[in-house]
Amino acid sequence: MKRSFHSLWGRALVLLALAGSLGWAGAATPPAESKAQRYTLTNGMTLIVKPDRRAPTVAHMLWVRVGAMDEVDGTSGVAHALEHMMFKGTPDMKPGEFSRQVAALGGRENAFTSRDATAYHQQVPASRLEAMMQLEADRFARNQWADDEFVREIEVIKEERRQRTEESPRARMFEALNAMVFQASPYRRPVVGWMSDLDAMTPQDVRDFYQRWYTPSNAAVVIAGDVDALQVHAMAERIYGRIPARAVPPRKPREEPAQAGPRRLDYRAAADQALVALSFKVPRWSGGEDAASQDALALTVLSAVLDGYSGARLERSLVQGTGRGGKRIADSASASYGLMGRGPQLFMLVAVPAQGVSADTAAAALRTEVTRIAREGISEAELQRVKTQWMAGEIYKLDSVFNQAQELGSYWVQGMDLDTGERLMSRLRQVSAEQVQAVAKRYFSDEQLSTAVLVPDPSRREAAPPATPRPALSRH
């Protein structure tokens, strides 16, 4: 996935990568043997297999339906810290040994933590799948390490936070915006965790989280590549299926209360360029036929019409300056929409004001584009254009088995079916211009708006905080 400069608004791009196997212009669905299959192992673990026999390789992912949103205050970042510690051993495996063994198989590996889920993934030659499963099953069931390992790794995690967040004024601003947009929802906390929570985190915090959430019925193994689904099922039953079943603890709803009026923050930082982000609370797609899901589909089209291709509306009016008497408003402008997630979703409009243009002017210009659609609607040509792009994307995405596994895992995290991608594409194709106009009218009032402005303040360069002190760490 293309990494945009902030994580909250990479989602619209991902949409191209979402969805199942709808062919170009109604091409035939894939033959039965290459369709994804889903099984439940005897201990409650889910197995999803997508055969794709183009090359003798396989993507193997283990997803756990637990992410930063399942944390509580004071231990933010623990889901991600656990992800790091999962590489630190089992009773039979020393720290680092997992990675050495994956490498010996010829495998590439990594893991990631999001608000909704944690996933561990490898790509290996298809002939090494069984060995890979054994390694992953062992660490999923028996993660174990000494306190000393944690003491070093938490320092690595703080460096990760410094590198991705502290060192980037824009990342810090979006972190602050997120904390303002959400009040009760656990989405308000950063995935990596607040620095003081990382400072205070203990090895036991991590072990408790592992014990609580890493149960077979809260996990799915997703495999895509050169495999036979029935054989993989038997293999997974043998290797993953014998992990003892445990109940998944209940989850508290922690619903976000309705917003009643605009919120705003100014974030001052050592920067030259300002940045303004407008965040609107909007419905998400649940996969059903309810009105909110219908609106979610239309919001997806709206996002693409604003910013889905080179020279789309936002770029044209704000960046090229065809909007206001030829004056350029912004150096860049974008729209994004979350579409689905375990928590509430946002529609965001973001602009970097051009030199000499105020953030308020840029914000007004962003909203003008939505208002214009609310007033005038969109053309059939625009509607067709974004649909055409999505349908082509459905073909291009077949080039990567890893992306296919990632997509199937993402749907499982949301509690959705294997055919979600196909259903999503087919629903998106039915969205009408009138629906897009209707959501542009409905969801973009001040009532649901949160605005963040990155205010350039060069004096902060000197005032930047010195390195934070921390407990002594043994040094070699």
333 part of the interface to another protein, by CB under 8 A: no
- Least distance CB 152 / another protein (angstroms): 4
Compute how many other C-beta atoms are within 10 angstroms of the C-beta atom of residue 28: 7
User: Alpha-carbon distance 153 to 158, whole Å?
Assistant: 9
Applying CB under 8 A, the span of 139-147, 159-167, 257-265, 445-453 interacting with another protein comes to 159-167
Residue with smaller CB distance to another protein, 261 or 465? 465
Q: Which residues in the 228-267 window bind another protein by CB under 8 A?
A: none
475 part of the interface to another protein, by CB under 8 A: yes
Task: List Cβ neighbours of 288 (8 Å cut-off, separation of 6 or more).
Answer: none
Residue with smaller CB distance to another protein, 116 or 369? 116
314 part of the interface to another protein, by CB under 8 A: no
Residue with smaller CB distance to another protein, 292 or 392? 392
Buried b / exposed e across 206-236, counting CB within 10 Å, b at 16+?
bbebbeebbbbbbbbbbbbbbbebeebbebb
Eight-state DSSP code of residue 248: P
341 part of the interface to another protein, by CB under 8 A: yes
429 part of the interface to another protein, by CB under 8 A: no
344 part of the interface to another protein, by CB under 8 A: no
Task: List Cβ neighbours of 298 (8 Å cut-off, separation of 6 or more).
Answer: 431, 435, 436, 438, 439
- Say if residues 451 and 180 touch (Cβ distance below 8 Å): no
Phi/psi at 182 (nearest 5 deg)?
-105, 135
Applying CB under 8 A, the span of 39-47, 286-294, 433-441, 457-465 interacting with another protein comes to 457-465
- Least distance CB 380 / another protein (angstroms): 12
Applying CB under 8 A, the span of 146-154, 260-268, 280-288, 433-441 interacting with another protein comes to 146-154
Residue with smaller CB distance to another protein, 39 or 112? 112
* Ramachandran category for residue 176: left, alpha or beta (phi over 0 → left; psi -120 to 50 → alpha): alpha
Residue with smaller CB distance to another protein, 272 or 289? 272
Sheet strands side by side (includes 345-353): 263-269, 449-456, 275-282, 345-353, 330-337
- Least distance CB 285 / another protein (angstroms): 14
User: Alpha-carbon distance 88 to 90, whole Å?
Assistant: 7
Bridge partners (DSSP) of residue 224 are 50, 59
Q: Which residues in the 286-305 window bind another protein by CB under 8 A?
A: none
Q: Which residues in the 365-424 window bind another protein by CB under 8 A?
A: 381, 384-386, 388-389, 391-393, 395-396, 398-401
- Least distance CB 44 / another protein (angstroms): 26
Q: Which of 13, 105, 141, 438 binds another protein (CB under 8 A)?
A: 105
Residue with smaller CB distance to another protein, 162 or 367? 162
Assign 451 to helix, strand or coil. Answer: strand
Tokens describing residue 205: 């915090």
222 part of the interface to another protein, by CB under 8 A: no
Q: Which of 20, 89, 169, 203 binds another protein (CB under 8 A)?
A: 169
**From the CA atom positions of the chain, what is the Rg in Å?**
23
State how far Cα 468 lies from the chain centre. Answer: 29
- Least distance CB 114 / another protein (angstroms): 4
115 part of the interface to another protein, by CB under 8 A: yes
179 part of the interface to another protein, by CB under 8 A: no
Q: Which of 192, 221, 224, 359 binds another protein (CB under 8 A)?
A: 192
Phi/psi at 329 (nearest 5 deg)?
-95, -35
11 part of the interface to another protein, by CB under 8 A: yes
* AA letter at 198: L
205 part of the interface to another protein, by CB under 8 A: no
User: Alpha-carbon distance 44 to 220, whole Å?
Assistant: 9
Q: Which of 328, 365, 406, 431 binds another protein (CB under 8 A)?
A: 328
Q: Which of 91, 258, 310, 471 binds another protein (CB under 8 A)?
A: 310
Q: Widest CA span of the chain, in angstroms?
A: 70
Task: Report H helices in 118-214.
Answer: 129-142, 147-161, 169-181, 195-200, 203-213
Q: Which of 29, 33, 42, 55 binds another protein (CB under 8 A)?
A: 55
| Interface mask toward another protein for 116-135; x: CB under 8 A | x------xxx--x-------
* AA letter at 92: D
Q: Which of 108, 238, 254, 442 binds another protein (CB under 8 A)?
A: 108
- Cα distances from 61 to residues 110, 189, 204, 471, in angstroms, run 10, 26, 26, 36
Residue with smaller CB distance to another protein, 41 or 391? 391
- Least distance CB 274 / another protein (angstroms): 10
308 part of the interface to another protein, by CB under 8 A: yes
Tokens describing residue 437: 């106009």
Residue with smaller CB distance to another protein, 41 or 124? 124
